[in-house]
Amino acid sequence: MPSRAMKFLSLYRPHLGLLTADLVCAFIAAAITLILPLCVRFITQNLLDAGAPNQLRDIGLMALLMLALVAAHTLCNLFIDYQGHMMGARMESEMRRELFAHFQKLSFSFYDDQKTGQLMSRITNDLFALSELFHHGPEDLAIGLIKFGGVFLITLSINPALSLVVCAFLPLMLVFSLHFNRKMHRALRLSKERIAEVNAQIEDSLAGIRVVQSFANEALEHAKFDRANARFVDSRRLEYKSEGYFYGGMAAFTQLMTVVVVVFGAIAITQAALDLSDLITFLLYVGILIEPIQRLVNFARWYQEGITGFHRFMDMIELPPAIQNCDRPGWPERVRGRLELQNVKFSYKTEFGDVFRNLTLSIAEGEYVALVGSSGVGKTTLGSLIPRFYDVSGGRICLDGVDIRALDISLLRRNIGTVEQDVYLFAGAVAENIRYGNPGATDAEVIAAAKSANAHDFIRALPQGYATEIGQRGVKLSAGQRQRLSIARVFLKDPPLLILDEATSALDSESERVVQQSLERLIENRTTLVIAHRLSTIRNADRILVLTEDGIGEQGSHAELMERDGVYANLYRLQLAR
């Protein structure tokens, strides 16, 4: 059996008890449905004759039996509808949890090529229909088979010829349904892809709403949305057209069966081959036969929608993370922070060319090193290679003499603190964002980290202090305040190795001064790599590295590089002249 089919079936494993109870109730409900017409036949054949003894008593007893059957049928259906749907909802939830966890493992290279809105569609819209499929799939198949088999056997015992006429419709209905199921599957997959595009467009426009409004480009965004929305409508048109043919054709088949039974049954009555009570019973069973057909039709729809979502789910789950632990990752007791790059080569994609070729450098434990250079030479890329957000294409990066690919990824990243220019804060309270650096930290430790980051005073001045909600991405705070919160997070994390990526380049002079003070406090006794844009902020660095397209062009202290009067000195004088 294909691996995807095995994966689909394995999702039922934690719910086998509930699934069994659901199928037992479905079996009982289907059996009761088959028994009720036989009760009607018994009454019409045996209890309506004028000379039958105890007519009223027997009719009353049959009525009580039928009421008891209806009550049992109702209870079984209540269980199926509630517990069955809850089983489907739990299975859908478990898949969503698995997909979200998988998204957390995928590397930056994956997200470089993806749109957030499309990923959100995978984790929400694609899994909605699966809940119904998980519930109705086994149940509808079981009820359908029981009712089909039961109706065929019972009608065969009543009138074999008429039963075979009805069954002649079933192969035609099967061929018809398979043909339009394929069409619906293609249309549904296209529809899910198009709604993902709509979600991506919405997410992109709303995330950049400040840019949209500042350029007065609302009409442009409307036009982009309308194009995506129109493509979605076109895909739905194909879907509804296929559905229309499918459901219309199946309804026509069921109506034709009723007509055929009435016509052939009437002919049989005129020829004394069938009595009226048997024709009534036959019509009741045709009505029962229509119900499982409708169930199977609905199942076909849930199957197409659900299996399309399942395949899109598996497309993501089967995508292996580009960054993974080795078979036996190392877990040293203490990370000191000595960093070495040995002949490092890296490119984002082969067609883009190499960012680095044979880059070699060494940073001692506790050393404060600054990395400078023109835009595009790979300063930020280097900062992303050290925590293994990307893996090197050649050479190796070592931490305390051990190749970082041999270390556990979570251990490696827990020992590296990163402060970037583009600060990301989560929607929530100030304290929650600081505590992100150490989720188990106490309130006192959060406050101490804020004080170390020069953030305590402005936090206390907020309306609810540390409980103040700061909005999506911290929009209610200034750039300097957001940066200080990100530094407080790193203080709370307390890593031995720091990477500061142009952490003050987007700040005004006053904010830069305050943030720089907190950064100087942060780098004490830690191995620190500062990616600098403003050269005035790194004059106190132990060593400054000038990165060029050919590797490390110069290195030394600020004074040594200024005396050398090379690339760094020219960059420094150029900034001073601005």
Give the separation between CA 270 and CA 86, rounded to whole angstroms: 52
Q: Which CATH superfamily is domain 3-317 in?
A: ABC transporter type 1, transmembrane domain (1.20.1560.10)
CA-based nearest residue to 261, from 149, 159, 154, 145: 159
Which are the contacts of 437, defined by CB distance < 8 A and separation ≥ 6?
417, 449, 488, 489, 490, 491, 492, 493
Q: What is the pTM of this model?
A: 0.75
> Which sequence spans correspond to the domains of the chain?
3-317, 339-576
Separation of first and last alpha carbons in the chain? 69
Mode of pairing for the β-strands spanning 402-403 and 394-399: antiparallel
Q: Which CATH superfamily is domain 339-576 in?
A: P-loop containing nucleotide triphosphate hydrolases (3.40.50.300)
Distance from chain centroid for Cα 136: 23
> Can you list the alpha helix ranges (DSSP code H) found in 318-388?
379-385
pLDDT of the chain, 578 residues: tens digit per residue: 468 888 888 889 999 999 999 999 989 998 998 888 888 888 887 777 666 677 788 888 888 999 999 999 999 999 988 888 889 889 988 998 999 889 888 888 888 888 777 788 788 877 877 887 888 788 888 888 888 888 888 888 888 888 888 788 878 877 887 787 778 778 877 887 888 788 778 777 777 776 676 667 778 888 888 888 888 888 888 888 887 888 788 778 878 888 888 888 888 888 877 788 888 887 888 777 777 776 776 777 778 778 888 888 888 898 888 888 888 887 777 888 899 999 999 888 877 778 888 888 999 999 999 998 887 788 888 888 999 988 998 999 999 989 999 999 888 888 988 888 778 888 888 999 899 888 888 999 999 988 888 888 889 998 999 999 988 778 888 888 888 888 888 888 888 998 988 766 656 677 777 777 888 888 888 898 988 877 877 888 899 999 888 888 888 888 888 888 888 888 888 877 65
CA-based nearest residue to 539, from 308, 312, 310, 372: 372
Q: Using an 8 Å Cβ cutoff, are 76 and 23 in contact?
A: no
Return left, alpha or beta for 376; rule: phi > 0 is left, psi -120 to 50 is alpha, else beta. left
